Structure 1
């Protein structure tokens, strides 16, 4: 007698292959293929995908990454709630058509970008070397990990971010005296030390961690490390270029007053999935990943390609990113994720969030 589990696994692979082929079919046959896919999972032929029928679809689509059976079920329930526009606990054919065009497209045909954050000389061997920070983590080991991904993973887009500070930048300890501090600042300028936090009397008030001068525009310290592979078709995004506000994120400054060109670049290139790595885990990498999620990108943090400043903040960053919907993986999983051999259900939730937000905007006439 055949092993039932093996038969179910084979059926799942066959169903998934059918769904993938349908999604990749030409636009002219898309409607027909959508109906075929719907019928495949509408086992009782009642014209709806029940919660259990939708769960079966998701079990085929989401190839186990980190989640167990129980967490997968929870994530699927979350996706169904987001995609079920009339909230009757099931998907009608009309609702499934929206899933087909927008949700499954993101899941089965993602466009991936690797965003390499601030792998610069000053953070590795210069004035703000991570090895001198509280966590004592040397940043150099991230370079071979990142290079290996660049050599072996077929990312659609590669972006390098760089701190690119003017000499009078607000984050430099050496400049603490050139701007007035607000009375609420617990640290006075004459007492300030590296890694202290002060509050500048600016509009808006600016809370700022003080760092040794680093990554000054045009300096050796601001350049990408010589051992980091720079691909020919890669993009470079400079951040922290204003003297008056720091920019941890490769998307926004810390006061969210201005943004870099990164979101426009990724949107223009139709990127759906952003893989984030680099320096420092709990500062610029973490902020970049948070903002990637905020912009609707399905976000993956490549943990062994990161090093950080403070061990407690590294743990906090990991927890917060997972809570927001990011997936935290090791670099040896990335190739299979980009190739579709691994599909994390958490990223399916982000795809469903994107569809839900878009539908709400359409309903209110804001797009």
Structure 2
């Protein structure tokens, strides 16, 4: 991103020198780059960035690797600007821009990216819950080649594999329904229930449960990652669905939000800003994971051609939910440029600004 075109005025240099004296070493270069950026877009040289000047930054920031500029909606531009105009005077001064630079621009241009491959396991591809037999009739094996290509060619900062890892008496198995009580409010009775139906199990509290064929039983062949899937060194495996009484679609939480996996803490430890999600099944575990990633504050990208699902209508609902919550859906051919910071999407910039806004508000509340 070429957004630096020169140094500043005398007043600006005096302000810069003050900060440089306080921050020795490598910080000097970083301050100079930041100040040069501010100066380049402070077109009227008044020492502030107006909304129109900030819009020029966004036009330089949000573009793809071929130079095409992505449009930013006016209301989103105004909201992002207001996040960094912390004193509400309608201008961004140098101190406010420092926050914008360090917490927003630098993340947009140099994201830290995690790749999460969801449940590419034997049972979903050719075993007991082969998704080709579900309504969408999609072939789960088709995700393996594009996922492998990404693993070999894209410099992700971290790679995670999730695995359904169910005990034999798991609540989701249709042949275990006789072990549970069905609530009187259930639209499907225990006697009539069959695979893929949703029943309401007795509580407390009552819980809806979709019934699946027995699948991904711990230490079974069906629970293993597919043999053709590349498993990179230093990757992390996350096991979910281990509680027999609670199903677990998301790689972050079980379905009742009772127990959290280690994924969130590990992403935080690695400093991840962006999470690329794909795998099986698109409208079940992949979709639930993407929703939780967005709710957890991560810039979230679904990889469309690296995912296959159960039901076409539910797949489209998943896409709409992700897009509606400022996530992005891309093809695997677009991933490398995004990971390397050469293709920068305004949706992800807006999502990050909202998270910064929330963080600033939380700090203010805690200090009151």
TM-score, scaled to structure 1: 0.90
**Matching residue of 2:220:** 219
Distance 2:47 2:331 in 1: 41
Give the Å deviation of 1:232: 1.1
Give the Å deviation of 1:325: 0.8
Q: 1:76/1:26 Cα in 2 relative to 1: closer, same or farther (>3 Å)?
A: farther
1:15 aligns with 2:3: yes
Distance 1:73 1:339 in 2: 27
- Give the match's secondary structure for 1:351: helix
**Matching residue of 1:207:** 208
**Matching residue of 2:182:** 181
**Matching residue of 2:11:** none
Distance 2:105 2:287 in 1: 28
Q: CA RMSD in A?
A: 2.2
**CA deviation digits over 1:81-117, x for unaligned, max 9?**
3333234443222221111121122112211110000
Distance 1:187 1:253 in 2: 23
**Matching residue of 1:30:** 30
Give the Å deviation of 1:208: 0.8
TM alignment of 1:75-86, pairs within 5 A: 75-86=76-87
The 8 Å contact of residues 75 and 345 in structure 1, kept in 2 or not, is answered as no
Give the Å deviation of 1:130: 0.6
The 8 Å contact of residues 323 and 329 in structure 2, kept in 1 or not, is answered as yes
Distance 2:300 2:117 in 1: 13
Distance 2:323 2:161 in 1: 23
The 8 Å contact of residues 195 and 211 in structure 1, kept in 2 or not, is answered as yes
- Give the match's secondary structure for 1:48: coil
**Matching residue of 1:46:** 46
Gaps spanning 5+ residues in structure 2: where?
8-24
Distance 2:262 2:274 in 1: 17
Give the Å deviation of 1:18: 8.3
**CA deviation digits over 1:10-46, x for unaligned, max 9?**
xxx6426989xxxxx9324433433322121111122
**Matching residue of 1:63:** 63
**Matching residue of 1:316:** 317
Choose 196-205 or 151-160, whichever is displaced more: 196-205
TM alignment of 1:239-278, pairs within 5 A: 239-278=240-279
Distance 2:6 2:365 in 1: 36
Give the Å deviation of 1:69: 5.3
Give the Å deviation of 1:296: 1.0
Give the Å deviation of 1:80: 1.8
**Matching residue of 1:5:** none
**CA deviation digits over 1:126-164, x for unaligned, max 9?**
111110111111111000010011111111101000000
**Matching residue of 1:307:** 308
Gaps spanning 5+ residues in structure 1: where?
1-12, 20-24
Give the Å deviation of 1:71: 4.2
Distance 1:198 1:241 in 2: 20
Distance 1:77 1:337 in 2: 25
**Matching residue of 1:164:** 165
Q: 1:201/1:65 Cα in 2 relative to 1: closer, same or farther (>3 Å)?
A: farther
Distance 2:121 2:148 in 1: 14
The 8 Å contact of residues 6 and 39 in structure 2, kept in 1 or not, is answered as no
TM-score, scaled to structure 2: 0.90
Q: 1:65/1:344 Cα in 2 relative to 1: closer, same or farther (>3 Å)?
A: farther
- Give the match's secondary structure for 1:199: strand
**Matching residue of 1:10:** none
**CA deviation digits over 1:156-209, x for unaligned, max 9?**
101000000011111111111111111111111110011111111123321111
The 8 Å contact of residues 75 and 346 in structure 1, kept in 2 or not, is answered as no
Distance 1:14 1:233 in 2: 34
Q: 1:110/1:190 Cα in 2 relative to 1: closer, same or farther (>3 Å)?
A: same
The 8 Å contact of residues 163 and 240 in structure 1, kept in 2 or not, is answered as yes
**What is the number of equivalent residue pairs in this alignment?**
350
